[in-house]
């Protein structure tokens, strides 16, 4: 006998599979090639708006049909839909970490537990986990799962809120207003927190927070109250259809423009940009949902349907595959097309296996038959086919993953087992008070240097007696003797003692900061883990405004992400043509943007006469022994080479 549908009038809107496809492709491409798809992370709000609309629309259909909401049935359906895939990826990833990447065991147990309880996003916030840090303390393969926690929290409380609104307010237009206002308040909170944040602060708190990201779900939910899918007319006037299609085209174009242009750390994104994108998505959802418009048909095809149905698995498996691939293959920069294609194929394969053998079967499994299934599993004569071996494989994966969870706490407190890179980054974390004092000293030094600056002609020549005097004085410095073996002469080392230098960079420069400070005692160095160009432009602008930019400026950026020619031009304009600019190129073979960054810097050297590119990549690339395991950060062996190589380049042209 055919099973009766739970909701009599419900319709499956195939165009939503198209929106899910756009969303998941955007997110995957962003994680694979952020330099090309810088706004791909905006695929997440697409998921949220669609989810907010669909869940609320289904709850309203249920209430209209039965005059009640079956909370128990709702939660069982959500658990059966979401938990199988989540458990599979959590324990499969944990098993892989246990067997092949034990450097990632740190906090593994907490990550799994908080994901299963849907509070992972708050755990990330509480533990200072940055969404944008690519090399600090080992990148977690679960970083992207923050969004599932927000959706899980939404599923937990929203049915009760919907019922309360229906019982107390009743009028659905008024309910729309209430929910829309809540969405606006969430967007305002994000903007206020961004406005109040310290300049160039990591925006991960805003990115992860349920309170600051709720507007995307709430906008979709609000729409459902005034745009119910089952009450929209399929037959409408031509003018109305054209209007709907036009609105759909404009909203989709707006979404795509933002996907390709808005940086994940730009202030605009958190000052209203993400809310704007979610609003455009809500409008597009409304057009797709309307049976009288053409958008549902335009976003419906076999490919979109296939991807849309598996979008959950595609989202789940993308980051673990990428992280593990990058750990195994360290020459990613040399294969910017081939490797991403292989990674996508692996993600698709795992997602298909998950959908076919885990997600779909469990979603339709009658848990009353669990005992019988387990009995059949251990009875050899029972004909179970592939299900038996799949079940055995899952048991083994769960067992190995559980071993990793048990081992994780000891790794957390055992400094000997943490990576040398993690310890080094922790040791070199900037002391804010000392940094402020250094900045004040740098400003004073720059002012004094300008006041006491010698005549230009005198500064360009040096007599033999002066050279000998400097060399004699240089021998008194033990620092100089230490670095002679790296090719610095006594004259260069003495000259470095008086060079004014302002440096801005990322964690690679942070590694080299002690040596650079030793060589250039009058230098002010502002380097931080996970820093990118988008943050640094404001930092340099502030230093220029406050007189903290010396005649020589050192830049070390590009490790954590690429930048555009326009951003480089903006940086050079702020520094100005009267200063020497020394820009260290990057050695980051595990990221696709390495060659793009270095190519842009090389091309820019001919554009700016005051720009010198320090080819750290060419100098260091043959020497893997100079680096930690990530092949990016210089280790104690490589740091002196980093510092002295930069020093030689600066001293050749320093003012």
Residue 423 has pLDDT above 60, yes or no: no
Region 575-591: mean pLDDT is: 95
Q: Is the pLDDT of residue 4 over 70?
A: no
- Closest residue by Cα to residue 555 from 584, 580, 526: 584
**CA 12, CA 202: separation in Å to the nearest integer?**
40
**pLDDT at residue 561, as a whole number:** 86
Question: Residue 372, class by beta-carbon neighbours within 10 Å (0-12 exposed, 13-18 middle, 19+ buried)?
Answer: exposed
Measure the CA–CA gap between 505 and 507, rounded to whole angstroms: 7
Distance CA 290, CA 317 (A): 32
User: Phi and psi at residue 263, in whole multiples of 5°?
Assistant: -70, 145
Residues 38 and 567: their CA atoms lie apart, in Å, by: 14
Q: Is the pLDDT score of 444 beyond 70?
A: no
Can you list the alpha helix ranges (DSSP code H) found in 414-455? 420-427, 432-451
Residue 425 has pLDDT above 60, yes or no: no
Assign 523 to helix, strand or coil: strand
Residue whose C-alpha is closest to residue 266's, from 538, 562, 507: 538
SS3 199: coil
Average pLDDT in the 426-448 region?
56
Predicted confidence (pLDDT) per residue in 160-202, tens digit: 999 999 999 999 999 999 999 999 999 999 999 999 987 777 8
Give CA–CA dist 80/77, Å, rounded: 5
Q: Among 179-183, 196-200, 210-214, 295-299, which stretch is predicted with the lowest mean pLDDT?
A: 196-200
Question: Closest Cα to residue 632, out of 508, 540, 549?
Answer: 508
- Residues 6 or more apart whose Cβ sits within 8 Å of residue 67: none
pLDDT at 479 over 70: no
Q: Contact 637/644 with Cβ under 8 angstroms? A: no
* Size of the chain in residues: 655
pLDDT at 476 over 50: yes
d(CA 649, CA 655): 12
**What span, in angstroms and rounded, lies between the C-alpha atoms of 640 and 618?**
16
CB-CB neighbours of 66 under 10 Å? 11
Contact call for residues 315 and 144 (beta carbons, < 8 A): yes
By C-alpha distance, which of 640, 633, 642, 535 is closest to 136? 633
CB–CB of 401/141 below 8 Å?
Answer: no
Percent of the chain with pLDDT over 90: 68
* Euclidean distance between CA atoms 149 and 229, whole angstroms: 27
**Rounded mean pLDDT, 271-275:** 97
**Residue 296 scores a pLDDT above 50:** yes
pLDDT at 456: 46
- State the distance between the two ends of the chain, measured CA to CA, in whole angstroms: 88
Please give the angle made by the CA atoms of 344, 320 and 361, to the nearest 5 degrees.
80
Half-sphere exposure of 366 (CA within 13 A, CB side): 3
Provide mean pLDDT across the span 1-16: 78
**Distances in whole angstroms, Cα of residue 381 to Cα of each of 373, 384, 388, 393:** 13, 9, 11, 19
Structure confidence by residue, pLDDT tens digits, 384-410: 777 788 888 899 999 999 999 998 864
Average pLDDT value over all residues in the chain: 88
How many other CB atoms are there within 10 angstroms of residue 329's CB atom? 15
Given a cut of 60, whether residue 452 has pLDDT beyond it is no
pLDDT band at 530 (very low <50, low <70, confident <90, very high): confident
> Among candidates 332, 220, 262, 327, which has minimal Cα distance to 564?
262
Catalytic residue ranges? 507, 630, 633
Contact (Cβ atoms closer than 8 angstroms) between residue 7 and residue 31: no
CB 332 within 8 A of CB 339: yes
Q: Which two tokens stand for residue 149?
A: 């926690």
556 bridge partner residues: 505
Q: Give dist(CA 633, CA 444) in Å, integer.
A: 32
Q: In this predicted structure, what is the pLDDT of residue 211?
A: 97
Contact 483, 640 (CB under 8 A): yes
Distance CA 273, CA 257 (A): 12
Report the chain's C-alpha Rg in angstroms. 29
Sign of torsion, CA 602 604 607 613? negative
Distance, CA of 602 to CA of 108 (rounded, Å): 42
Match 């037959």 to its residue by tokens.
Answer: 235
Average pLDDT over residues 32-46: 91
Is residue 622 very low, low, confident or very high in pLDDT (cuts 50, 70, 90)? very high
Whether residue 59 has pLDDT greater than 90: yes
CB count within 10 Å of CB 38 equals 24
Alpha carbons within 13 A on the beta-carbon side of 472: 6
Secondary structure string (H, E, C) spanning 124-144:
HHHCCCCCCCCCCCCCCCCHH
Q: CA geometry: angle at 421 spanning 415 and 425, to 5°?
A: 90
| pLDDT above 80 (res 434) | no
pTM listed for this prediction? 0.86
Q: Is the pLDDT of residue 508 over 80?
A: yes
């Amino acid at each position: 006998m055919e099973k009766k549908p739970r909701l009599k009038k419900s319709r499956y809107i195939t165009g939503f599979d198209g929106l899910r496809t756009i969303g998941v492709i955007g997110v995957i491409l962003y994680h694979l090639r952020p330099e090309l798809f810088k706004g791909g992370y905006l695929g997440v709000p697409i998921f949220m708006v669609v989810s907010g609309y669909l869940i609320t629309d289904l709850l309203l259909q249920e209430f209209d049909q039965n005059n009640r909401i079956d909370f128990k049935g709702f939660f069982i359906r959500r658990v059966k839909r979401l938990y199988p895939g989540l458990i599979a990826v959590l324990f499969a990833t944990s098993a892989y970490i246990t067997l092949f990447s034990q450097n990632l065991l740190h906090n593994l147990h907490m990550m799994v537990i908080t994901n299963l309880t849907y509070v992972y996003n708050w755990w990330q916030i509480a533990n200072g986990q940055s969404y944008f840090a690519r090399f600090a303390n080992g990148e977690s393969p679960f970083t992207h799962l923050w969004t599932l926690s927000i959706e899980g929290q939404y599923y937990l409380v929203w049915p009760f809120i919907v019922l309360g609104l229906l019982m107390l307010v009743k009028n659905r237009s008024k309910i729309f207003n209430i929910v829309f206002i809540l969405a606006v308040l969430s967007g305002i909170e994000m903007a206020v927190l961004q406005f109040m944040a310290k300049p160039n602060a990591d925006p991960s708190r805003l990115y992860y927070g349920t309170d600051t990201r709720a507007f995307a779900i709430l906008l979709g939910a609000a729409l459902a109250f005034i745009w119910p899918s089952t009450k929209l007319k399929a037959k409408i006037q031509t003018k109305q259809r054209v209007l709907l299609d036009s609105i759909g085209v404009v909203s989709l174009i707006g979404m795509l423009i933002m996907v390709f242009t808005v940086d994940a750390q730009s202030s605009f994104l958190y000052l209203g940009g993400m809310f704007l994108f979610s609003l455009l998505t809500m409008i597009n959802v409304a057009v797709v949902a309307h049976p009288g418009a053409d958008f549902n048909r335009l976003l419906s095809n076999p490919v979109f349907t296939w991807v849309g149905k598996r979008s959950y698995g595609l989202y789940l498996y993308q980051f673990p595959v990428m992280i593990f691939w990058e750990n195994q293959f360290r020459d990613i920069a040399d294969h910017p097309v081939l490797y991403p294609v292989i990674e996508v194929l692996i993600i698709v394969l795992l997602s298909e296996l998950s959908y076919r053998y885990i997600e779909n079967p469990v979603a339709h499994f009658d848990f009353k038959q669990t005992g019988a299934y387990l009995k059949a599993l251990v009875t050899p004569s029972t004909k179970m086919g592939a299900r038996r071996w799949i079940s055995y494989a899952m048991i083994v994966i769960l067992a190995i993953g559980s071993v990793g969870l048990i081992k994780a706490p000891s790794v957390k407190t055992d400094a000997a087992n943490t990576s040398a890179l993690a310890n080094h980054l922790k040791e070199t974390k900037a002391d804010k008070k000392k940094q402020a004092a250094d900045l004040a000293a740098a400003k004073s030094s720059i002012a004094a240097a300008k006041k006491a600056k010698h005549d230009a002609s005198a500064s360009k020549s040096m007599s033999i007696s002066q050279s000998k005097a400097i060399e004699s004085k240089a021998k008194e410095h033990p620092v100089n003797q230490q670095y002679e073996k790296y090719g610095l002469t006594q004259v260069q080392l003495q000259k470095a003692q008086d060079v004014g230098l302002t440096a801005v960079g990322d964690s690679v420069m942070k590694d080299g900061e002690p040596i650079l400070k030793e060589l250039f005692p009058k230098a002010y160095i502002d380097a931080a883990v996970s820093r990118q160009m988008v943050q640094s432009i404001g930092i340099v602008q502030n230093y220029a405004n406050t007189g903290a930019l010396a005649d020589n400026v050192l830049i070390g950026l590009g490790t954590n992400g690429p930048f555009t020619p326009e951003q480089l031009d903006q940086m050079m304009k702020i520094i100005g043509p009267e200063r020497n600019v020394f820009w260290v190129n990057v050695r980051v073979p595990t990221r696709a943007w390495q060659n793009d960054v270095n190519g842009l810097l090389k091309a820019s050297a001919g554009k700016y006469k005051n720009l010198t590119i320090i080819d750290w990549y060419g100098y260091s690339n043959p020497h893997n022994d100079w680096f930690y395991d990530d092949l990016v950060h210089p280790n104690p062996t490589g740091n002196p080479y980093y510092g002295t190589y930069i020093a030689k380049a600066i001293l050749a042209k320093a003012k």
